[in-house]
Amino acid sequence: MPLITVRSSAVPSGDRLETEFAERKGIWHPDSIADGIAEEVSRSLCREYLEISGTVLHHNVDKGLIIGGDSEVRFGGGRITRRIEAIIAGRASSAYGKAEIDIKGTASDAARRHLNRVSRFLDSEREAKITTKIGRGSAELKSLFAERGVPLANDTAFGLGFAPMSTLEGLVLSSEKYLNSRRHKRRFPAVGEDVKVMGWRDGGKLSLMVSMAFVSEFIESSNAYVEYKERVGRDLERFAWDKSGKEVRIGINGGDDVGKGRIYMTKTGLSCESGDDGQVGRGNRVNGLITPLRWMSLEAAAGKNPVSHIGKLYNVLAMKVSEDAVKEYPEIGDCRTEILAQIGDRIDRPRSFTMETGCSRKEGRRLEAKLQVSESGILKECECFLKIL
């Protein structure tokens, strides 16, 4: 692990920005479903590889699509007329020694398992289709997998992370989790799992623009839909006040036009039942948010192998290091971490490891010295993180 370089930055971020945006695509948004399937497939392959070989073999299954189906929805019910399709693609090791590994079967089972967790109202056997397009892993990348027991980076890539979250970011994250919690679903069963929260702060004014798929089984009329939506809005206002200590303007399903019969109502609680598609990597970053005004990688972390793909490892590590730095050294205010490696590098020896903080240059030099010499500090923690993968 190289020495950490600490730089002072006067660039405002988070709560110090005049205007701020942050978004969370809920865990069952089509893009999030695509990410979730890719990650479940990777975990399933890891388990099978460990059982067969005692190690995680080369794989990257970070390519995938959700192709929306079609549905007919009415008050009180509905039906799926064309199945949702999940397409899984990527590369994976299909043999170890003389043992053949059914990578397509493993992937298909994993995808079905994930879809069964998606919705209370999706019948994954009848209403979803799984298509697997995983090919054999690259021989060149297989040969790069490890050196003296330490994995080698199988891509030239970087990781970015920041801490702490701003008030708005924390509110966006917690609001979606609340709306998809068991507690909320017990109180408001008509709120489907496909929830997206867009947060906006203009000076001191906070707004949440929420898109949520209501479930037709629980909605008997357009008037009932309007009343239900208003109840959910009032409940979210109370939640947002408790979390932020501020009044938060709430908007739900802004595209509705009840007079014209245009409302966001679904049979399954998922928008992908009727034409909305998804793709791996288009959703949340590793911290669960989309934050375009922050340090943010566009790398698709989901489905990448957890041993040597630095596009996954370094983004997780950069976020963790930033969080630990502001916790251990609160005087720095905020922290942004950048980690870079070239393909073939040992993952514990990145080319660059830089932290930018809100402290002064003098404080930054002191922090740099602390981080470089502290046996219990960030460097050691980075090494431990990489060793346990």
Q: How would DSSP label each residue in 178-216? A: HHTSHHHHHH-TTEEEEEEEEEEEETTEEEEEEEEEEEG
Residue 372 has pLDDT above 70, yes or no: no
Does residue 137 sit in the same domain as residue 43?
A: yes
How many domains does the chain contain in total?
A: 3
Same domain, 141 and 31: yes
Average confidence score pLDDT of the chain: 88
**Residue 243 maps to a domain:** yes
Domain match, 269 and 287 both? no
88 shares a domain with 234: no
Domain end call among 276, 297, 329: 276
Q: Is residue 90 part of a domain?
A: yes
124 and 57 part of one domain: yes
Q: What is the pTM of this model?
A: 0.90
State the burial class of residue 232 (Cβ atoms within 10 Å of its Cβ: 0-12, 13-18, 19+): buried
Both 161 and 295 in one domain: the answer is: yes
Residue 172 within a domain: no
Calculate what percentage of the chain has a pLDDT beyond 70.
88
Q: Is 177 strand, coil or helix?
A: helix
- pLDDT tens sequence across 339-366: 999 998 888 888 898 888 876 666 666 6
311-333: burial string, b at 16+ Cβ within 10 Å, e else: bbbbbbbbbbbbbbbbebbeebe
H or E, element range at 362: helix 361-373
110 and 200 inside one domain: no
Domain that holds residue 136: 25-147
Distance CA 127, CA 249 (A): 37
